[in-house]
Structure 1
């Protein structure tokens, strides 16, 4: 595998390709469309969480308090069996990715197909990036030995977006090395019952950094709330460029609320429901002639459409009022891949029917 100095990715994409990497599902999900493009469960937080957040509004005339941040860190630490010093509350995982250049990596290895924002941030900052590609032919399995030894920052999602593959913790842990930061994006970890293969509670892996998001399970995309877990010195390096008060008071309260035992139990029950819904959705879509549902465990499915039909199928779906996430902006995938979020059965039936009609229309 080739390196890619001078701001190029391993495939030779120039730094002006950052815009393509910043195509996210919300771009596909225009208002009025049935949304399978965005991986957020539901249209808003549950009533109890909304009430907790709303209760902070009367205090918006005051700056976010250090004591509130400390309570959020203590709550997250208790949830994962860590020290509060191992927690950095973030304005969503996206803020954590935006801070990565502060770690001053010499060579970053980003595993793909995967969430593209980390690579976009690194390339925009002039950090050399090499792409480590998994393959559909072996189920997008992670091969730790494919990571260049000289990479001092490695980024991987677990489960990975958009493939939905959950990598064994041992394989992820095997990418840790002296003088290397291993960043594991666990944005969807709580959507799998029991959070298997998570490294969030491990404090003894050298250079390990774990990002968690509240966006997906709790439908808080508009609030921006999440956190990082890591060794205090590493978190201090990551946080160095932050402005004062980077996380709002409502977001701090959301972190506290969602880290509590009752909320964790609720997310576990939701994850169990998602398992059943995902299986039913996979079966319904696999029954559509021409649609291949690729293996995965996350609350979304990666589909492969007949060769050369993907772009036209997406256009026909859009005309029918259905939004799916295009796959060709994920390195390692092409225009015949689409990602769809797990949705209620009635919506899935509409998607399956629209897919069947679209494939027939384009001549699959």
Structure 2
């Protein structure tokens, strides 16, 4: 009799769940407007007197139906959140996988911005929408503070090894028959004297080339792979980069950077913080300001705001939890060229250029690292740099 009674209670409970526990009304769903309002609030973005809608529309984060309708009062779906977050973090413009526009919500899934195992076209409840936003920023301040310690730590010497891929897109597809090349970099850095590095470039149809160079003061000394001769060029202000470690670098473009603590991991027996930073610079004058801060307002005659439309990137930092030293950085960075840019009177053919790969750091503050210009390079001939692109 007790079993029958318990089964009856269980049956009533199960039958009531869809009604009392799972049923939702329109009032329980988060609207598109509520989501973007809370997103901007949690991110701590200064709107500069603009409304949230104006801010997001100007930056291409909030797209409407083409008729000025943004449906801010309509319930938002997981897929729509995916589109908004992919644009908000700059991943849609970086577009590492070259996806169609109606597929770019995938970047939010790839980054883990959305919860797992959801039906993408389901409406999102207010509590779930709030939770998604809170998780995005739950450890962003902690991540920022860790990188701030990294930038302020003293690094007199180090070694760097990088494997990179350079991708590009051309305005005229017939100009060059390849769209990517591979590059390796091995470098030793000594803040007291300079940098020594070997750069290997593997170019399709051309082959592998290796360039050896020293950066000493305001000069770059290069050893030609063709004739084995040394040449140099002067870049006024280059030596001031040695003072870059005294700047609060995470603060320079903080408004254009989002920080996200991913996890802790282990590399070569060292426990590391894993931190993602997402950079989206739509006002390239800010990069000009950074160069001015470094005393390099005329770096190689180049003005970023004249040359580029915008820059987008994702940088994953692996930071030693004990020493606050960077162990590795995974990068994916894309920059868009403006139309009408000229180099030596000829139009620059590139639409965009993207660098991706990994940089590994070691031997930080190793006293055995000493960068000294070899005697054979001291009689190098001066090389005149070509005119930089201008609009």
Q: Relative contact order (alpha carbons < 8 A, sep ≥ 6): 1 or 2 greater? A: 1
State if a TM-score over 0.5 links the two structures.
Answer: no
- TM-score, normalised by the number of residues in structure 2: 0.22
- TM-score, normalised by the number of residues in structure 1: 0.23
Greater helix share, structure number: 1
Greater strand share, structure number: 2
Structure whose alpha-carbon radius of gyration is higher = 2
